[in-house]
Structure 1
Amino acid sequence: MQEALKHLVVLAQTLGKPFNVQGIPQPLALRPDDVALEDLEKLLPAPTRIRQRLTLLDVPSFVDYVTRFASPATAIFCNGPNGRTFQARFDYHTPEAAAWGDHTATYSCPLTVEWGNWKEMDRKRLPQADFAQFIEDNVKDIVQNEDDKNAPSAADMLEISRTLQAQKNITFRQGTRLDNGQVQLTYNEQIDGSAGATGQLNIPELFYIGIKPFLGGDAFLISARFRYRIAEGRLSMWYELVRPDKVLEEAYGAVRKQIHGAIGDIPLYEASI
């Protein structure tokens, strides 16, 4: 009973005055008005630990920041090509002790404007004038592939989008009398197209774009299928990116390799962030 009274007396004497508790680096105080515990760390010359959640916009900045603040307690987590996020936790748990994890740096592989432009219009059927306008606005991204001699240049692709003329031909192949007396007709539908002032340009099956999926990352060669159709007398045109998911997967792998090669012995884990 006497020990308990002594503790109460000590606490009463600390009302409104700073005091320290073993294991807690910042001073504390009991407010006399409501006897609530108040943290006085804000009155110290410097914080007792770093509390910072920073977002970096490119790989070099992320690597520089990580190497600047890394310690034996630092760990980096990344969540694969779908999440495309790398997060460094500088005060992470160790086998010896738990930690608050208040200091983090995150890089989320921001997508480029060019990738967004091409991905947004992927597989969208457009009137010829609209498609030609899109190609003109993004013609700088169209490149030639040395391995595909039939691939159009940027200038050719622009000319094709502007001058393509298509004609639909339907030819019946046969008529078959069925058991119920009805007649079934089968036919071939063929769309012939030509482009250029005198129809001298070949209509490509594929064309190629060369862009960086991630801001500050590597550029990739991306295949796109060129498509056009006639419906109700109107010509529509579009393109289909070939496995854009694999492009992002490769781009993520390149970023992961770059970060892993630059952080030295800091552990890097694939995890859900």
Structure 2
Amino acid sequence: MQQALQQLLTLAQALGKPVDHPGLAAPIALVPHGVSLENLEHLLPAPTRTKQKLTVLDAESFIEYVNRFATSATAVFCNGPEGRTFSAVIDYHQPESPAWREHVATYRCPTTVEWGRWKENDRKRMDQATFAEFIEENVWDITQPANEQNAPGAADMLEISRTLEAKKNISFRQGTRLDNGQVQLTYNEEIDGRAGEAGQLRIPEQFFIGVKPFLGGDAFCVPARFRYRIQDGRLMMWFELVRPDKVLEEAYNAVRDKIQTAINEVPLYEATL
């Protein structure tokens, strides 16, 4: 009984007083009103470990941050072209040393406005005016590769779009394929209710765009098939990007290689946290 009373007395005297011990990372205290344990780490000159969740906005900042804080425990994880997210866990587990994993930097490759415009309108059928407007707004993305001499350049596509935009009351007839791979459509334009004028319009089979899928990443030359249908005398036109998923995969791999090369000995894993 005497020993139990002594323990209660000792406990009562300890209430509200900091308790420090060589085995504790930070002092603790017994707090009245339920006798709970309160961590007094906030009273120390500095935290006992780093607790930081950070989102960086470009690959260069991600690389700089990892190289600045990396230790022998640091690991980087990435989850492929669909997730396109890179996460650096500065305080990651070791084989026989579990860690808190509370210091993490994350970078998710943001897509560019240009890529978003072309991807959003991929395979979207448009009438003459809508298609012409889209081409004129994005004509600077159109390029002509050196090995594709028959492909239309930006000026050619701009001329086609302006021609379409200028012709309001037109009836189209099925076209014929030319030797250079282009399609020639025959049209009849009505003028002031008269019979109108006949003409021909050449449409290329495909064109190319040069865009950066990821902000701050590499630019890629992406082929786009030119498609059309004549419905009730009206010309509907659209484009089909060739394997846009493959373009994103190549863009992701380029970012991955860049990061892996720059973070030196820090291991990089394909995984989802």
The TM-score with structure 1 as length reference comes to: 0.84
Q: Helix, strand or coil for the counterpart of 1:225?
A: strand
Counterpart Cα distance in 1 of 2:4 and 2:108: 54
Partner in structure 2 of residue 167 of structure 1: 172
CA contact (8 A) 1:260 1:268 kept: yes
Displacement after TM superposition at 1:166 (Å) = 6.6
* 1:138-217 matched pairs, under 5 angstroms: 138-164=138-164, 167-169=172-174, 192-193=184-185, 202-217=202-217
Residue 124 (structure 1) aligned with residue 124 (structure 2): yes
Task: Report how many residues are paired.
Answer: 251
Displacement after TM superposition at 1:229 (Å) = 1.2
- Matching residue's letter, 1:52: Q
Counterpart Cα distance in 1 of 2:161 and 2:10: 86
Distance 1:140 1:96, change over 3 A: same
Counterpart Cα distance in 2 of 1:12 and 1:115: 68
* Identity level (%): 63
Counterpart Cα distance in 2 of 1:51 and 1:130: 52
Partner in structure 1 of residue 227 of structure 2: 227
Partner in structure 2 of residue 20 of structure 1: 20
Partner in structure 2 of residue 186 of structure 1: none
Q: Helix, strand or coil for the counterpart of 1:29?
A: strand
Counterpart Cα distance in 1 of 2:4 and 2:154: 86
Displacement after TM superposition at 1:6 (Å) = 5.7
Distance 1:233 1:201, change over 3 A: closer
Distance 1:9 1:90, change over 3 A: farther
CA contact (8 A) 1:16 1:29 kept: yes
Displacement after TM superposition at 1:224 (Å) = 0.5
Counterpart Cα distance in 2 of 1:127 and 1:4: 91
CA contact (8 A) 2:185 2:200 kept: no
Counterpart Cα distance in 2 of 1:3 and 1:240: 85
Counterpart Cα distance in 2 of 1:98 and 1:89: 13
CA contact (8 A) 1:209 1:224 kept: yes
Q: Helix, strand or coil for the counterpart of 1:126?
A: coil
Q: Which stretch of structure 1 is more off in the superposition, 233-242 or 3-12? A: 3-12
CA contact (8 A) 2:126 2:238 kept: yes
What RMSD over aligned residues (CA atoms) do the two structures have, in Å? 2.4
Partner in structure 2 of residue 184 of structure 1: none
Distance 1:233 1:267, change over 3 A: same
Counterpart Cα distance in 2 of 1:2 and 1:209: 89
Q: Helix, strand or coil for the counterpart of 1:264?
A: coil
Partner in structure 2 of residue 88 of structure 1: 88
Partner in structure 2 of residue 179 of structure 1: none
Counterpart Cα distance in 2 of 1:52 and 1:7: 41
Counterpart Cα distance in 2 of 1:128 and 1:255: 38
CA contact (8 A) 1:29 1:38 kept: yes
Unaligned regions of 5+ residues in structure 2, if any? 165-169, 176-182, 188-197
The C-alpha deviation readout for 1:65-92, integer Å capped at 9, x for no partner, is 0000000010011111121111100000
CA contact (8 A) 1:228 1:236 kept: yes
Unaligned regions of 5+ residues in structure 1, if any? 171-190
The C-alpha deviation readout for 1:19-49, integer Å capped at 9, x for no partner, is 1355431221222123111111122222111
Partner in structure 2 of residue 218 of structure 1: 218
The C-alpha deviation readout for 1:205-247, integer Å capped at 9, x for no partner, is 1111111111111111011011111112322111100000000
The TM-score with structure 2 as length reference comes to: 0.84
Counterpart Cα distance in 2 of 1:264 and 1:236: 53
Counterpart Cα distance in 1 of 2:93 and 2:233: 67
- Matching residue's letter, 1:38: E
CA contact (8 A) 2:227 2:239 kept: yes
Counterpart Cα distance in 2 of 1:2 and 1:166: 108
